Amino acid sequence: MANEPVGGARGATVVVTDLCKHYGTVNALRGVNLTIHAGEFVSLLGASGSGKSTLLKLIAGLETVSSGQILLGGLDATRLPSERRDIGMVFQDYALFPSMTVAQNIAFPLRMRRMPAEEQCKHIARVAAMVGIEAFLSRKPSQLSGGQQQRVAIARAIVFDPKILLLDEPLSALDKNLREQTKGELKALHERLGVTIIYVTHDQSEALAMSDRIAVLDQGDIVDVGTPTGLYSAPRTAFLATFLGQANLLPVTIEASTEDDCTVSSAWGRATLPRARLSPDLQATQGKAAFVVIRPEHLTVAEGDGPAGTILIAVTVAQALYNGSETIYSAICAASGLALTLRDNRPGRSIFAVGASMPLNVDLSHGFLVPVSGAVV
Ligand SMILES: Nc1ncnc2c1ncn2[C@@H]1O[C@H](COP(=O)(O)OP(=O)(O)O)[C@@H](O)[C@H]1O
Ligand SMILES: [Mg+2]
């Protein structure tokens, strides 16, 4: 029941091909290709200025494309006016009409479609219940909290059962607790509506938590697309590793490479990684420099020798940040000089003081080998 789509809306596919947009001399998008399946939740993740909002505005028809094509539900929508694209939108600042009540705000897209008043009421009640704002329908936006205004904006965006919903940083004005709660609610709403969602964010934790897939943008290009777990556990490049989650980059030299695996040497000794742990972008030739990406959770405080296959190293604690469930350490490796980040969540553990020496087990079998080029270190 909970996952049964309501309102009859199903998602539409979105396909953008070689999409370019320049504003004068600024190249905001440089030939973007992306296919989004019907009903998928895809996040566009990138730093400020990477072109996320521009891509969303082109899909919505709020900006004209410089070149390229946009297909919505299989139909060419590249030059279609915005109001004919069947797309719901929520922006960062919600942009509610201040002089209208909540009910009038939600009714706006229905009035534009000349829906009879009686029918409008039914749809307003339906979506107001869905996002939990039934009690505020006669209030003005100024009489609502930020979180409530955001719900009104979502209700207005979904009231006409669009097949595509675009959300541009919709949680950025909310405080942390409300943001966490709203993440879960948006995900549930997506499952319930079955609508295609394109969600713009610069916050990796939002993208990881909600998306079916994430497209990472950098300077007007999509640099990779993948599932949250795929992108996190197997980042193609050092940039992607450090952008999506925290990463330690261990410099290594490739010693030997076979069809099955690749052996590397490092300041911590030699390790062999299976083929599946090699970036497709890496040419594993002998003597070549590379990085092994090691996530903080794969560095553990050593108690004894550690499991077979792990390497024991000594680090000096530079910073210890305790947050209740874990302690996040910054540390310097004595042998290599490498700065490392790790998390210690062992129950009942004591906290290592700044300057203390800490023994660590490194599990390189979870590492992922990426090329040095394009690295941000
Ligand atoms: N209307 C505009 N006129 C000129 N430049 C713009 C305009 N909108 C965006 N840009 C530029 O295009 C680039 C991408 O912007 P935007 O898509 O808003 O990025 P993001 O949403 O990822 O922060 C930036 O360099 C930005 O300054
Ligand atoms: Mg933006």
Provide φ and ψ at 130, rounded to 5°.
-60, -40
For residues 160 and 244, state if they share a domain.
no
Mean per-residue pLDDT for 62-75?
A: 97
For residues 340 and 322, state if they share a domain.
yes
Give the integer Cα–Cα distance in Å for 237 and 339.
19
| DSSP code per residue over 194-226 | --EEEEEES-HHHHHHH-SEEEEEETTEEEEEE
Number of domains the chain is built from: 2
pLDDT value at 353 more than 90: yes
Model confidence at 2, pLDDT cuts 50, 70, 90, reads very low
For residues 205 and 91, state if they share a domain.
yes
Examine the fold and report which residue of 212, 233, 254 is the final residue of a domain before the chain moves on: 233
pLDDT value at 87 more than 80: yes
Q: Does some domain include residue 185?
A: yes
pLDDT value at 36 more than 50: yes
pLDDT digits (tens, 9 = 90+) for 295-321: 998 899 998 777 777 888 999 999 999
- Structure tokens given for 339: 């700065």
Cβ within 8 Å of residue 310, ≥6 positions away? 361, 362, 363, 364
Quick check: 201 and 92 in contact, CB under 8 A? no
CATH number for position 330: 2.40.50.140
For residues 31 and 180, state if they share a domain.
yes
For residues 126 and 76, state if they share a domain.
yes
pLDDT value at 44 more than 70: yes
For residues 145 and 173, state if they share a domain.
yes
Q: Which atom of ligand 1 is nearest to the CA of 53?
A: 21
For residues 53 and 168, state if they share a domain.
yes
Q: What is the Å distance from ligand 2's center to 178 Cα? A: 21
Alpha helices for the chain (secondary structure H): 52-60, 102-112, 117-131, 146-158, 176-193, 204-210, 228-233, 238-243
Neighbours of 357 (CB within 10 A): 11
pLDDT value at 5 more than 60: no
Average pLDDT of every residue of the chain: 92
Ligand 1 pocket, mutate which of 32, 43, 45, 54 (most atoms under 8 A from CB): 54
pLDDT digits (tens, 9 = 90+) for 97-150: 999 999 999 999 999 999 999 999 999 999 999 999 999 999 999 999 988 999
H/E run at residue 332: strand 327-333
Provide φ and ψ at 277, rounded to 5°.
-100, 20
For residues 227 and 250, state if they share a domain.
no
Examine the fold and report which residue of 210, 233, 256 is the final residue of a domain before the chain moves on: 233
* CA dist 22 → 31, 56, 164, 215 (Å): 11, 14, 25, 20
> What pLDDT sits at residue 373?
76
Cβ within 8 Å of residue 247, ≥6 positions away? 235, 238, 241, 293, 294, 295
For residues 334 and 307, state if they share a domain.
yes
Give the integer Cα–Cα distance in Å for 331 and 104.
56
Examine the fold and report which residue of 201, 233, 265 is the final residue of a domain before the chain moves on: 233
Q: pTM to 2 decimals?
A: 0.90
> What pLDDT sits at residue 334?
86
C-alpha angle 375/363/311, rounded to 5°?
105
The torsion of the CA quartet 181, 186, 191, 195, rounded to 10 degrees, works out to: 180
* CA dist 187 → 41, 135, 371 (Å): 9, 23, 35
For residues 159 and 64, state if they share a domain.
yes
Q: Does some domain include residue 7?
A: no
Quick check: 68 and 16 in contact, CB under 8 A? yes
For residues 18 and 54, state if they share a domain.
yes
Give the integer Cα–Cα distance in Å for 42 and 320.
35
Q: Does some domain include residue 294?
A: yes
Half-sphere exposure of 30 (CA within 13 A, CB side): 11
Q: Which atom of ligand 1 is nearest to the CA of 48?
A: 23
Mean per-residue pLDDT for 229-252?
A: 94
Ligand nearest to the CA of 57: 1
Give the integer Cα–Cα distance in Å for 180 and 75.
36
Residue 182 beta carbon below 6 angstroms from any ligand 1 atom:
no
pLDDT digits (tens, 9 = 90+) for 175-202: 888 889 889 989 999 999 999 999 999 9
For residues 173 and 307, state if they share a domain.
no
Residue numbers of the domain that contains 359: 238-371
Q: Does some domain include residue 376?
A: no
Residue 70 beta carbon below 6 angstroms from any ligand 1 atom:
no
Neighbours of 112 (CB within 10 A): 10
Model confidence at 374, pLDDT cuts 50, 70, 90, reads low
Q: Does some domain include residue 2?
A: no
Percent share of the chain, pLDDT over 70: 97
Ligand nearest to the CA of 29: 1
Model confidence at 9, pLDDT cuts 50, 70, 90, reads very low
Q: Does some domain include residue 73?
A: yes
Q: Which atom of ligand 1 is nearest to the CA of 168?
A: 21
Q: Does some domain include residue 9?
A: no
Q: Does some domain include residue 89?
A: yes
CATH number for position 138: 3.40.50.300
